[in-house]
Amino acid sequence: MPAHTKGTRSVILWLDHYADAGNTTGFTATAAMTTVETDIGGLTNGTALTGTTRRKITYWLDMVNYEGDANTPDVTIRVKAKVDESTYRTVDTITWTNGTSDTGILIEIPAFHHNLQVTFENSAALDSDQVVPYRIVTENLEY
């Protein structure tokens, strides 16, 4: 057995670097949203995409309810970052086309340490409210 110095201890620190958020009930894209670009951070249980530590974020949006409605418009999703710390700028755009796109939208945001925003915009007004189930996984890369 190794010799121990009096008062010396080994400490193991476990940090869970994954934070999950999700809601199988989903957020509601309302008819009132019409064609307005909407920050879905506030719709997804207030899941903040702000901070100054590096992290990777993955969004999964389930468009099954949109797909089931023939009158549902196409959707544009934008990932934005505050690169200059004052104005959000689009860094990625995803267009979901009703009837031809896959049912789910996977948004993978690479390692980033600034404020982020994910927006959701319909190409036309909805005939009725649509629920969008979602999952968000955040991998914290530093603390």
The pairing of beta strand 55-62 with beta strand 104-112: antiparallel
Q: Which two tokens stand for residue 140?
A: 């914290």
| Residue range 88-113, pLDDT digits in tens | 889 899 999 887 888 888 888 887 76
| Residue range 28-75, pLDDT digits in tens | 777 767 677 888 766 665 555 766 677 788 888 888 888 766 677 788
Sheet holding 89-96, edge to edge: 38-39, 116-122, 75-81, 89-96
When divided into structural domains, the chain yields a total of 1
Q: What's the pLDDT at 22?
A: 54
What pTM, to 2 d.p., does this model score?
A: 0.73
Q: What's the pLDDT at 8?
A: 54
Q: Which residue do the tokens 């890369």 mark?
A: 141
Please provide the distance, in angstroms rounded to a whole number, between the alpha carbons at the two ends of the chain: 35
Q: Which domain holds residue 103?
A: 18-140
CATH, residue 75 = 2.60.120
Query: Is 74 part of any domain?
Result: yes
Amino acid, single-letter form, for residue 129: D
